[in-house]
């Protein structure tokens, strides 16, 4: 264990290590940016084509009025819970291991919320009328229907996006000041502006810490409300398979599940790329794995409770959906989902050796995210393809336009992360130093 004196002496090294990504640009990095930009361009082209030729380019058709875009919206909002959960809940519980993880996760939050917002725009048939989404009266002075969960959704997602940007920015102020004094070029004036003239006096620290302490519980409460409301987008309708009271907590836990999986991916990639083995240690993967066991069990419990009620009630309209998933058209994605988000995590993450294996945790993160994406699609598609009266029964698989746009959106998320890694220190430098001092004092 480091003594306090050694930690103070190490601070120069910590600055050097954690600021290094801001100034290094390798050929591989540029190649990655070029590949991602090409994918984003393909997605943008497909979207333009869809706007030009109409929403009929998707495979949506009555009664399938929601599909892959809305599934992606729900998925990305879920991923955005990574930052808030890791950062907020672990800060509330004063978990020391959060320190190298929070920034990586908070950046994911901001980017995921942006991509989720974009998915709503993909779904708009006439995207140039996007402002109908904003609550303002039309020419007949009729306001939007506040009884609609979509209206609550717009309010909640806006609140969440604003709050998580603030939550990312506040702990960044001292790090921007650090970068301001050490990074030159075009970034220096931006760092100067964003660091608010930070000097590091105790009054500044006290103000900053008080603000973080106050905002942390608030943003956790916003996080829970956001995904509950996304759940209510479904739960408040009378569509069989959606109309269940358990849907809000189920959505929240599912969001945290996919968010934690995404953090595992981020931790592995950042650690591997920058050789930060001494910052992101096996202990962090282990702790993340334990949290994933908790979310797996909770999610499995909620899912089982919900499906058991459906099965026991034997209502024909709900049973048709259940059958289509267990043995019908959607059996392959359904069982893949069950394996990826419940069985593999439970079987492997309960083993301490596996949890401390970074490559294993990377694979687990990827698996959970694929599984959770399929799960979002299975919430939306089977109930819509099996409405109450069978004459409307139908099938759905996304068109190549939808797949291209959504691949472009995924590439955009990664591209934004890769670009931001050249501007924002990926590990909170002052919190890392503070954590080491705390550890040395114990």
Partner 1 sequence: MPPRDELELHALFEPDVDVMNVRRQIAHAGVPEGSIHVLSPVPLSGAASDRIAGIPLYVVTVLAGLVGIGVGLFFAAGTAAMYPLMTGGKPIVAPPVVGIVSYETMMLVAIVTTFLTTVVKVRATNSEIRFRDARIDEGRMAVAIRVPMVGTIAGAVREALEQAGAIDVQASVIMDEEETVAQRVGPAASLLLPIALAGALVGCSQDMQEQASYQSQEAPRLHSPEGSIPRASRGVLKARSTSAGPSEERGAALFRINCVHCHGVQGDGDGPVAPYLKEPPGNLKNDEVRAMTDEQIYGVLTEGKDMMPSFKGELSANERLDLARFVASLSRPTTVRADGSEDH
Residue closer to partner 1, measured from CB, 288 or 429 = 429
Residue closer to partner 1, measured from CB, 34 or 134 = 134
Contact, 166 vs 250, CB < 8 A? no
Q: Dihedral sign, CA of 263, 264, 267, 268?
A: negative
Comparing C-alpha atoms, which of 175, 191, 171, 198 is closest to residue 15? 175
Which range, of 126-134, 286-294, 335-343, 407-415, touches partner 1 by CB under 8 A?
A: 126-134
Which range, of 79-87, 142-150, 280-288, 306-314, touches partner 1 by CB under 8 A?
A: 142-150
Which range, of 277-285, 340-348, 362-370, 382-390, touches partner 1 by CB under 8 A?
A: 382-390
Burial of 141 (0-12, 13-18, 19+ CB in 10 A): exposed
Residue closer to partner 1, measured from CB, 128 or 312 = 128
143 backbone φψ class: left, alpha, beta (φ>0; ψ -120 to 50): beta
Contact, 369 vs 410, CB < 8 A? no
Q: From start to end of 342-436, where are the E strands?
A: none
Taking the complex as a whole, how short is the minimal distance between the CB of residue 334 and partner 1, in angstroms? 16
Q: Dihedral sign, CA of 55, 228, 258, 333?
A: negative
Tell me which residues in 3-42 interact with partner 1 (CB under 8 A): 4-5, 8-12, 15
Among 25, 41, 197, 305, binds partner 1 (CB under 8 A): 197
Taking the complex as a whole, how short is the minimal distance between the CB of residue 141 and partner 1, in angstroms? 7
By the rule CB under 8 A, 209 interacts with partner 1: yes
Tell me which residues in 214-253 interact with partner 1 (CB under 8 A): 214-215, 218-219, 221-222, 225, 229
Cα→Cα distances 146→77, 226, 324, 363, Å: 22, 16, 34, 43
Taking the complex as a whole, how short is the minimal distance between the CB of residue 153 and partner 1, in angstroms? 10
Site string for partner 1, 152-171 (x = CB under 8 A): x--xx-xx--xx--x---x-
Which range, of 32-40, 58-66, 356-364, 376-384, touches partner 1 by CB under 8 A?
A: 58-66
Element spanning 290, H or E: helix 282-313
Total residues contacting partner 1 (rule CB under 8 A)? 86
By the rule CB under 8 A, 353 interacts with partner 1: no
Per-residue exposure over 279-302, b if at least 16 CB sit within 10 Å of its own CB, e if not: bbbeebbbbbbebbeebbebbbeb
Residue closer to partner 1, measured from CB, 151 or 370 = 151
């Amino acid at each position: 264990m480091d003594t306090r004196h050694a930690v103070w002496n190490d601070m120069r090294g910590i600055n050097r290590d954690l600021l290094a990504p801001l100034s290094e640009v390798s050929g591989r990095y540029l190649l990655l940016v070029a590949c991602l930009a090409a994918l984003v361009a393909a997605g943008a082209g497909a979207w333009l084509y869809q706007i030009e030729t109409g929403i009929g380019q998707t495979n949506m058709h009555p009664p399938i009025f929601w599909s892959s875009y809305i599934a992606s919206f729900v998925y990305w909002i879920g991923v955005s819970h990574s930052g808030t959960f890791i950062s907020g809940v672990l800060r509330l519980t004063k978990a020391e291991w959060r320190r190298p993880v929070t920034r990586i996760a908070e950046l994911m939050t901001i980017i995921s919320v942006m991509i989720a917002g974009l998915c709503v725009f993909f779904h708009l048939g006439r995207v140039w009328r996007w402002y109908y989404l904003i609550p303002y009266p039309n020419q007949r002075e009729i306001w939007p229907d506040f009884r609609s969960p979509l209206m609550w959704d717009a309010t909640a997602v806006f609140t969440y996006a604003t709050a998580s940007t603030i939550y990312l920015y506040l702990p960044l102020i001292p790090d921007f000041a650090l970068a301001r004094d050490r990074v030159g070029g075009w970034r220096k004036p931006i760092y100067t502006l964003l660091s608010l003239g930070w000097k590091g006096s105790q009054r500044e620290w006290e103000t900053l810490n008080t603000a973080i302490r106050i905002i942390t519980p608030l943003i956790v409460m916003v996080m829970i409300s956001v995904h509950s409301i996304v759940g209510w987008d479904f739960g408040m309708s009378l569509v069989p398979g959606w109309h269940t009271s358990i849907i809000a907590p189920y959505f929240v836990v599912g969001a945290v599940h996919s968010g934690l999986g995404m953090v595992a991916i981020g931790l592995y990639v950042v650690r591997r790329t920058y050789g930060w083995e001494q910052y992101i240690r096996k202990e962090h993967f282990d702790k993340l794995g334990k949290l994933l066991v908790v979310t797996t069990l909770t999610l499995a419990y909620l899912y089982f409770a919900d499906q058991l009620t459906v099965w026991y009630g034997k209502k024909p309209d709900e049973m048709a959906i259940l059958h289509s998933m267990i043995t019908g058209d959607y059996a392959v994605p359904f069982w893949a989902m069950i394996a990826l988000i419940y069985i593999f995590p439970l079987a492997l993450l309960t083993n301490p050796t596996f949890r401390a294996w970074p490559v294993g945790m990377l694979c687990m993160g990827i698996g959970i995210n694929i599984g959770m994406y399929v799960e979002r699609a299975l919430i939306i598609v089977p109930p819509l393809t099996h409405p109450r009266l069978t004459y409307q029964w139908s099938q759905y698989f996304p068109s190549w336009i939808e797949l291209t746009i959504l691949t472009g959106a995924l590439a955009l998320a990664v591209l934004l992360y890769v670009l931001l890694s050249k501007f924002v220190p990926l590990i909170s430098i002052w919190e890392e130093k503070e954590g080491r001092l705390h550890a040395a004092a114990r």
